[in-house]
């Protein structure tokens, strides 16, 4: 595939022979671009960055540039984008801050226009980050999570697999897998629709996710007591994944329920009544 004559390619870069590099692309440093990847006009790739196979880097996107961190002073750090990932217009992915550290994007992820993935973030496979959403440094997101548009995620937050974050949400605390977040770090239910559509969870597993949500957020128990009760109830690996996430080390704490008088309380009521 062609490298357009107006593209500026660093002599240290490694471009697969089947990659397609468009007009006015700039590739700076020891960047590797994998098979069949298409880099659209005016994209910028930099640093020690690895782009996998079958990716799309759209116009104006920035991948592997230096982190937005006052502590960074030019150390060697890395960025990796997994196979099949799509990075749309003017999205940015920054490499790690600490020496030899990584920012990693999994396979088949979808970063929409103007989204930002900060330094040292770790995204699993098939994560979707929608328009104008910002992930601060050191955020960890599990497989198949969806972060809707105009959302903000605080540094060091963990978001579990199959989490659904609603549009315009501000996430400052960890969100356990399979749950839904909205508003000001409020857990408003479990992701019943996403779990069913995935085809990867049976009725028993989905029922246990619902039970976990009810126990943690609708039982009236203190959170610590609810976790103890949940430990006695879960039987599936899916339920145990929720428990393990909550018990894992956290710098931010775990997301809470919606305020009883808030605008998201009604949605939580609907989630509790949802059919499996």
**Tens digit of pLDDT for each residue in 34-78?**
999 999 999 999 999 999 999 999 999 999 999 999 999 999 999
Report pLDDT for 259: 74
**What count of other Cβ atoms lies within 10 Å of the Cβ of residue 166?**
18
At residue 26, φ and ψ (nearest 5 deg) are: -120, 125
Per-residue pLDDT of the chain (276 residues; tens, 9 = 90+): 699 999 999 999 999 999 999 999 999 999 999 999 999 999 999 999 999 999 999 999 999 999 999 999 999 999 999 999 999 999 999 999 999 999 999 999 999 999 999 999 999 999 999 999 999 999 999 999 999 999 999 999 999 999 999 999 999 999 999 999 999 999 999 999 999 999 999 999 999 999 999 999 999 999 999 999 999 999 999 999 999 999 999 999 999 998 775 556 555 555 555 555
On whether the CB atoms of residues 70 and 85 are closer than 8 A, the answer is no
Helix (H, G, I), strand (E, B) or coil at 224: helix
Please give the biggest Cα pair distance in the chain.
65
> In this predicted structure, what is the pLDDT of residue 275?
53
Beta-bridge partners for 44: 26, 62
Distance separating alpha carbons of residues 182 and 112, to the nearest angstrom: 20
Q: What pLDDT is stored for residue 94 in this prediction?
A: 99
CA atoms of 192 and 9, how far apart (whole Å): 47
Task: Give the bridge partners for 123, in sequence order.
Answer: 105, 141
Q: Which of 197, 199, 173 is nearest to 187 (CA)?
A: 173
Please name each of the domains of the chain with its CATH number. 1-138 (2.160.10.10)
Q: In whole angstroms, what is the distance from residue 206 CA to residue 195 CA?
A: 7
Q: Residue 276: what pLDDT?
A: 52
Count of C-beta atoms within a 10 Å radius of residue 24: 14
158 φ, ψ (degrees, to nearest 5): -110, 135
What is the reported pLDDT for 258? Answer: 86
- Closest Cα to residue 46, out of 19, 74, 71, 23? 74
Cα angle, residue 127 at apex, residues 150 and 210 outer, rounded to 5°? 90
* pLDDT of res. 218: 93
């Amino acid at each position: 595939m062609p490298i357009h004559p107006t593209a500026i390619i660093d002599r240290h870069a490694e471009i697969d022979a089947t990659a397609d590099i468009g007009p006015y692309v700039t590739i700076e440093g020891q960047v590797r671009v994998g098979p069949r990847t298409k880099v659209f006009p005016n994209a910028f790739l930099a640093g020690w960055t690895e782009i996998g196979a079958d990716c799309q880097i759209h116009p104006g996107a920035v991948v592997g540039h230096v982190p937005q961190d006052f502590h960074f002073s030019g150390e060697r750090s890395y960025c990796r984008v997994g196979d099949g990932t799509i990075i749309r217009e003017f999205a940015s992915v920054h490499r790690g801050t600490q020496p030899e550290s990584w920012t990693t994007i999994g396979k088949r992820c979808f970063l929409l226009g103007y989204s930002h993935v900060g330094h040292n973030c770790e995204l699993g496979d098939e994560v979707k980050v929608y328009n104008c959403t910002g992930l601060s440094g050191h955020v960890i997101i599990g497989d198949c999570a969806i972060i809707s548009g105009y959302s903000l995620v605080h540094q060091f937050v963990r978001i579990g697999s199959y989490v659904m974050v609603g549009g315009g949400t501000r996430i400052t605390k960890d969100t356990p897998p399979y749950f839904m977040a909205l508003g000001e770090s409020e857990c408003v239910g479990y992701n019943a629709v996403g779990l069913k559509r995935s085809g990867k969870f049976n009725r028993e597993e989905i029922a246990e996710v619902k039970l976990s949500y009810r126990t943690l957020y609708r039982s009236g128990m203190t959170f610590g007591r609810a976790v103890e009760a949940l430990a006695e109830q879960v039987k599936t690996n899916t339920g145990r994944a929720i428990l393990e996430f909550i018990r894992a080390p956290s710098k931010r704490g775990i997301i809470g329920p919606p305020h009883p008088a808030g605008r998201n309380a009604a949605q939580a009521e609907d989630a509790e009544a949802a059919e499996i």
